[in-house]
A and B are shown apart, each in its own frame.
Chain A
Amino acid sequence: MAEKKSLGKEFTKGLIAENPVFRLVLGTCPTLATSTSVVNALGMGISAMIVLVCSNIVISLLRKVIPSKVRIPAYIVVIASFVTIVQMIVKAFVPALDAALGVFLPLIVVNCIILGRAEAFAGKNSVIASAVDGLGMGVGFTIALCCMASVREILGAGTFLAGAQNLLVLFGDNVLNGFNGFTLPWTEVFNPMTVFILAPGGFLTFGLLMACANKLAESKGKPRAELGGCQACPMAKNCALLADGKGCSEEKKEGEQV
């Protein structure tokens, strides 16, 4: 069990040191798929954050009730309920976003970040700490998505915040004088590099930003995120499996990696 941390630290750890996307390398699939534009990324990040906070609270509340043998199905039921709620809200109030995100909205159910936080944190910490942890991780996810999306949208499409009305419609028609994103001035001379909108550009941006995040975290004395061994894992301190003397290899056999 990790030593008690202040709530502030629980929140800030999700931003860089244990950023779910760049440091824990969770939720890669929605990250690559929805980071083609900043507006989509924001929508995805906020939806996931709401689900994450709510499911962390409920799972933390139920942590003494859920038998540990069936915890994964129990977590999934809780998460799926919140995803359904969020999906219905998005469909009703921001239909354009729902159309843009498509299948990735319901797929939040199987987002590794949410299940990962339920397993690693909410299942054995108090309600308030779990809520703050969920919020921090959610903000970290949103920031990571927006970083990726900014790079990809600016280089790949030559726009920034294009289709902002898709999100702003939440606050009524024509907010901010119908602001719908910028088109960058140099696109008339320099064509945008389409490759950044395509899948290869997504992986490229992901890799480069992950290197930057590693560098940042390293400068603060945190271990590098490496794919070798549990001790190198930034989640090692909170890892339930490591505390039981097992490693992630056992975890994989249960097929919960998404």
Chain B
Amino acid sequence: MVDGKKLLVSASPHLRTKDTTRGIMLDVVIALIPTLVAAVILFGPRVLAVTATTVITAVLSEFLARKVMKRHNTIGDLSAVVTGLILAFNLPVSIPLWMAAIGSFFAIVVVKQMFGGIGQNFANPAIVARIVLLLSFGQAMGNWTAPLSWKTDAVSTATPLAILGGETAEALPSLYHMFLGIRGGCLGETCSVTLIIGGLYLLARRVISYKIPVAFIGTVAVVMLIAGKGDLEFVAYHLMSGGVLLGAFFMATDYSTSPIKSNAKIVFGIGCGLLTCLIRLFASLPEGVSFAILIMNLLVPHIETIMAPKPFGTVKEKKAKEGEAK
């Protein structure tokens, strides 16, 4: 007792988890690795070049931006690595490397560091970077390479969503191929099975909560079931095509750009799903996951304000005023 270690007087909190930013980010990196391996098998070694470019540029931009802004160095928390990885997963494999580098620079410097760095960004950096690249270099961002064709000459192909939208007359890949990722698309969004494994790993490690992915994917399933007049195959194609799985597990769940309260998380997920479906079904773009998540990112503060829980024992302002009037 005298040594002072057993009776410590301190302010709360008394229990702390051992989570660190670096640990969480490392878990996300681990969860992304199966998909990266699958992407290399599907689209060839150029995947590694694109990924290396985005990751290295992201870390370098983070380092330089912090240096220029005279803030402490944060590259050790691995968040820049995660941003780089997720951005690479959102790009077609044939993208020129300098475009990938510009995307990474944009994500880290403009979206993240200019707003104060990790935890302060108003939108998911990788998503904004993807949208900037999409709006800037539409042709390069829509140049899809057929999977497993990299050993010979790369063949271009259409994405399942473009085929579903009736843009080309190519045949849809079978559902089995869709599940394994043998289809056209961004390099990290095609392989459904590894994305689900990565998502389950994050859920098991409690890095993400199930609410956003379940609400997001569930909403897409329900809306597509209605849009497809009960056709389950149509639903399956929509769930596995485009970026729904990647978006729901890895991008919509980003801590600083998703709500904290659990019912707000469900609203956020449903919003992402609804907007995705609206863009896919009615807009001129075949895919809408990134725009859906960006729009919902911007709405997060408002969702949280509206869904703020009522403190126990208090009366709402309006009712209180009415009560006074009486």
List A residues at the B interface (Cβ < 8 Å). Answer: 190-196, 198, 200, 204, 208, 211
Q: Are A194 and B137 in contact (CB under 8 A)?
A: yes
> What is the CA–CA distance of A190 and B114 in the complex, to the nearest angstrom?
25
Q: Are A194 and B98 in contact (CB under 8 A)?
A: no
> What is the CA–CA distance of A143 and B36 in the complex, to the nearest angstrom?
48
In the complex, what residues of A have CB within 8 A of residue B228's CB?
none
Closest 3 CB pairs of A and B: A193-B136, A195-B135, A195-B136
Q: Are B102 and A193 in contact (CB under 8 A)?
A: yes
Q: Are A193 and B132 in contact (CB under 8 A)?
A: yes
Q: Are A190 and B135 in contact (CB under 8 A)?
A: no
Task: Say yes or no: is B138 at the interface (Cβ < 8 Å to chain A).
Answer: yes
Please, which residue of chain B has its CB at the minimum distance from the CB of A190?
Answer: B98
Please, which residue of chain B has its CB at the minimum distance from the CB of A199?
Answer: B135
Which residues between 69 and 102 of chain B lie within 8 Å of chain A, taking CB atoms? 98, 102
Which residues between 130 and 162 of chain B lie within 8 Å of chain A, taking CB atoms? 132, 135-138, 140
The secondary structure that dominates the B interface is helix
User: 9 more A-B contacts (CB under 8 A) besides A191-B136, A191-B140, A192-B136?
Assistant: A190-B98, A191-B137, A193-B132, A193-B136, A194-B137, A195-B135, A195-B136, A196-B136, A200-B132
Contacting residue for A193 out of B110, B114, B137, CB 8 A: B137
What is the minimal beta-carbon distance from B185 to any residue of chain A, in angstroms? 22
Please, which residue of chain A has its CB at the minimum distance from the CB of B134?
Answer: A195
In the complex, what residues of A have CB within 8 A of residue B137's CB?
191, 193-194
Please, which residue of chain B has its CB at the minimum distance from the CB of A204?
Answer: B110
In the complex, what residues of B have CB within 8 A of residue A192's CB?
136
Contacting residue for A194 out of B102, B114, B136, CB 8 A: B136
Jot down 21 A-B pairs with beta carbons below 8 A, ordered by A.
A190-B98, A191-B137, A192-B136, A193-B102, A193-B132, A193-B136, A193-B137, A194-B135, A194-B136, A194-B137, A194-B138, A195-B132, A195-B135, A195-B136, A196-B136, A198-B135, A200-B132, A200-B135, A204-B110, A208-B110, A208-B114
In the complex, what residues of A have CB within 8 A of residue B140's CB?
191
In the complex, what residues of A have CB within 8 A of residue B136's CB?
191-196
In the complex, what residues of B have CB within 8 A of residue A204's CB?
110
Please, which residue of chain B has its CB at the minimum distance from the CB of A200?
Answer: B135
> What is the CA–CA distance of A193 and B98 in the complex, to the nearest angstrom?
12
> What is the CA–CA distance of A200 and B137 in the complex, to the nearest angstrom?
15
> What is the CA–CA distance of A195 and B110 in the complex, to the nearest angstrom?
14
> What is the CA–CA distance of A193 and B137 in the complex, to the nearest angstrom?
7
What is the minimal beta-carbon distance from A15 to any residue of chain B, in angstroms? 25
What is the minimal beta-carbon distance from A244 to any residue of chain B, in angstroms? 32
> What is the CA–CA distance of A187 and B102 in the complex, to the nearest angstrom?
15
What is the minimal beta-carbon distance from A219 to any residue of chain B, in angstroms? 15
Chain A CB within 10 Å, residue with most, of B114, B135, B137: B135
What is the minimal beta-carbon distance from A19 to any residue of chain B, in angstroms? 20
Please, which residue of chain B has its CB at the minimum distance from the CB of A191?
Answer: B137
In the complex, what residues of B have CB within 8 A of residue A208's CB?
110, 114
> What is the CA–CA distance of A247 and B135 in the complex, to the nearest angstrom?
41
In the complex, what residues of B have CB within 8 A of residue A193's CB?
102, 132, 136-137
In the complex, what residues of A have CB within 8 A of residue B110's CB?
204, 208
What is the minimal beta-carbon distance from A17 to any residue of chain B, in angstroms? 23
> What is the CA–CA distance of A157 and B257 in the complex, to the nearest angstrom?
32
In the complex, what residues of B have CB within 8 A of residue A211's CB?
114
What is the minimal beta-carbon distance from B131 to any residue of chain A, in angstroms? 8
What is the minimal beta-carbon distance from B90 to any residue of chain A, in angstroms? 16
Please, which residue of chain A has its CB at the minimum distance from the CB of B137?
Answer: A191
> What is the CA–CA distance of A196 and B136 in the complex, to the nearest angstrom?
8
What is the minimal beta-carbon distance from A205 to any residue of chain B, in angstroms? 11
> What is the CA–CA distance of A248 and B77 in the complex, to the nearest angstrom?
45
> What is the CA–CA distance of A119 and B237 in the complex, to the nearest angstrom?
61
What is the minimal beta-carbon distance from A176 to any residue of chain B, in angstroms? 32
Chain A CB within 10 Å, residue with most, of B98, B136, B137: B136
> What is the CA–CA distance of A101 and B54 in the complex, to the nearest angstrom?
39
> What is the CA–CA distance of A60 and B146 in the complex, to the nearest angstrom?
70
What is the minimal beta-carbon distance from B78 to any residue of chain A, in angstroms? 27
In the complex, what residues of B have CB within 8 A of residue A190's CB?
98
In the complex, what residues of A have CB within 8 A of residue B114's CB?
208, 211
